[in-house]
Structure 1
């Protein structure tokens, strides 16, 4: 109870900021609540600072509530629907996901960008922006500044995609399904996918949304891969020091991913459906805004600026590569 009381100021601060960010996100859906949350948090922290009493609550929000948001989003996901769309879109997803990670690590190494930041940008571009970054950040033990920087990077290219993809799709003569597959595999954030899809046509918007939700399930296997790699690295580091290997895969295992899958199964079998599924999804989205507001409040703008523009350039190269590959695969397979 004492620990909970100590967390209240920080939780209240992050929640209040999240309410404002959510409202602004509804006014400007292209930007969205999560981005408003993290940007407002960074600005408040940099200009006015934050009370010391908020430290524990903000840390809890940026770690635990971030994980809870992923679990809640699983409650709005039907695995049956994912399977149906996945069969027709899996080949494009495999190519785009592979391209994102190969490009991120290859270019990131050439630019000498820290591996954690490279991983976050690669994951955010490959799968689903903020949600994917939220999923692996506790696994790789990313700093708040790295999370904030990567989400900001991914966001910039989301906005560009929403503006240029619909006219590009019409210029290329894409069908509704082809554009839906293109938007669903080459745009990161769900709200941006929906915005671009419906800007093209209602049918494209509906299909793009389903493709994007299918892509979201890739969080599960890729998070497990990251957990396994981190576990191996920790053991190697311990061996190099000549000390005891006091580290296990169980410690780094992303248990919240298991609960994400469990929530999805409940949706699939009908325990969670209709209005309940919609409500749980909205709760999950709001939790993400709360967590990102806390991350923004915990971030150091000066440290982010010292990181420079190389990660931003990396984000551009990865995003452009995924966009081009998505179109090439569809053209080569006769989908377009």
Structure 2
């Protein structure tokens, strides 16, 4: 007589557990007469935490990444629409905590670094892109994003190139991934190298792509680093205009519109008010506090939008190009700053 042994059930795989957990969070529940899912509740909990004193820009970005990689962002369309505006208003608000005279001094120190790094990055990107066999549009978008100000530069240069949606997505994905790495890596490196506030702020403005990550990393390092980084980065962002116009000439594009970063004028106006209008000092600290909260929430939104699908869509070659350009500009600028500033 044969006996059959019952096979023990296989252990649930992590992927299956995550899928089951996501499906459970997607089930709607009635709260105060409204239908709400567990994912939405989790998003709300993370968002509220980002408004507390325990949250910092790196922590907010990490929470967003955790949400995106696990259960997903239930408000993806809304957060994408809000991110750019929230960042712009936050940058303008930071201007109410800065002095125009100190900003001018920081801008003078950063102008030579800015010109040299932008030119060098665009030239290196051109040859590296050809070596990797990448298309001209993707190469130029990643190079501009690395050289100037990340997603803002890509968004401005893309329409000039008449780039395809997938080309824009690949370039933006590459920049956002490297931005996330820089936000976590730069402050510890700065402390390890005993960089001064001025040195670190200048390094952030040159070597980190997006304004959001520049301000986030500098804010984690110190108030003086934040002032230097913000001023130099926004001065750097103005190079979007000549680079976009040059792109139209090089790529022989006609009848194109260049997107001007007008929010920089708002930052300058706020800084001038804070410097020359004493009455502004009463509300200035509160506005700066709200601006820093806005920046923290912005980074949470950015992290929540960087899904696993978006990361996979980048592909190896564009990521290699972006990483190569980023490492070169980071190492070279670091060496020059440590030996000259």
Q: TM-score, normalised by structure 2?
A: 0.63
Going from structure 1 to structure 2, the CA distance change for 1:307 and 1:324 (only over 3 Å counts) comes to closer
Structure 2 counterparts to residues 146-157 of structure 1, below 5 A: 146-157=171-182
Q: 1:99 aligns with which of 96, 106, 120?
A: 120
Q: CA deviation at 1:28?
A: 7.2
Q: CA deviation at 1:151?
A: 0.8
Q: Is residue 218 of structure 2 the alignment partner of residue 208 of structure 1?
A: no
Asked if structure 1 preserves the Cα contact closer than 8 Å seen for 2:144 and 2:150, the reply is yes
Q: Which residue of 1 aligns with 2:29?
A: none
Structure 2 counterparts to residues 103-252 of structure 1, below 5 A: 103-113=124-134, 118=139, 121-123=142-144, 125-126=146-147, 132-139=149-156, 140=158, 143-144=168-169, 146-167=171-192, 169-170=193-194, 177-178=198-199, 181-182=202-203, 185-187=206-208, 189=213, 190-195=215-220, 198=221, 205-218=222-235, 220-225=237-242, 227-228=244-245, 236=253, 247-249=255-257, 252=258
Q: Is residue 340 of structure 2 the alignment partner of residue 335 of structure 1?
A: yes
Task: Give the number of the structure whose residues are more often helix, by fraction.
Answer: 1
SS in 2 for 1:314: helix
Asked if structure 2 preserves the Cα contact closer than 8 Å seen for 1:116 and 1:146, the reply is no
Asked if structure 2 preserves the Cα contact closer than 8 Å seen for 1:154 and 1:315, the reply is no
- Between structure 1 and structure 2, the one with the greater Rg is 2
Q: Which residue of 1 aligns with 2:94?
A: 76
Q: CA deviation at 1:278?
A: 0.7
Q: CA deviation at 1:305?
A: 1.7
Can you list the C-alpha shifts for 1:98-136, whole angstroms capped at 9, x where unaligned? 333333343233223455654565455445xxxx33423
Q: 1:268 aligns with which of 269, 272, 297?
A: 272
Q: Which residue of 2 aligns with 1:316?
A: 323
Going from structure 1 to structure 2, the CA distance change for 1:277 and 1:30 (only over 3 Å counts) comes to closer
Q: CA deviation at 1:33?
A: 1.8
Q: 2:49 aligns with which of 10, 23, 37?
A: 23
Asked if structure 1 preserves the Cα contact closer than 8 Å seen for 2:68 and 2:304, the reply is yes
Going from structure 1 to structure 2, the CA distance change for 1:248 and 1:93 (only over 3 Å counts) comes to closer
Going from structure 1 to structure 2, the CA distance change for 1:219 and 1:72 (only over 3 Å counts) comes to farther
Q: CA deviation at 1:330?
A: 4.0
Please provide the CA RMSD for this pair.
Answer: 4.2
CA distance in structure 1 between the partners assigned to 2:41 and 2:84 by the alignment: 13
Matched length: 283
SS in 1 for 2:340: coil
Where does structure 2 lack aligned partners over 5 or more consecutive residues? Answer: 1-34, 160-164
Going from structure 1 to structure 2, the CA distance change for 1:102 and 1:330 (only over 3 Å counts) comes to same
Q: Which residue of 1 aligns with 2:6?
A: none
Asked if structure 2 preserves the Cα contact closer than 8 Å seen for 1:18 and 1:37, the reply is no
Where does structure 1 lack aligned partners over 5 or more consecutive residues? Answer: 1-8, 199-204, 237-244
Q: Which residue of 2 aligns with 1:326?
A: 333
Q: TM-score, normalised by structure 1?
A: 0.64
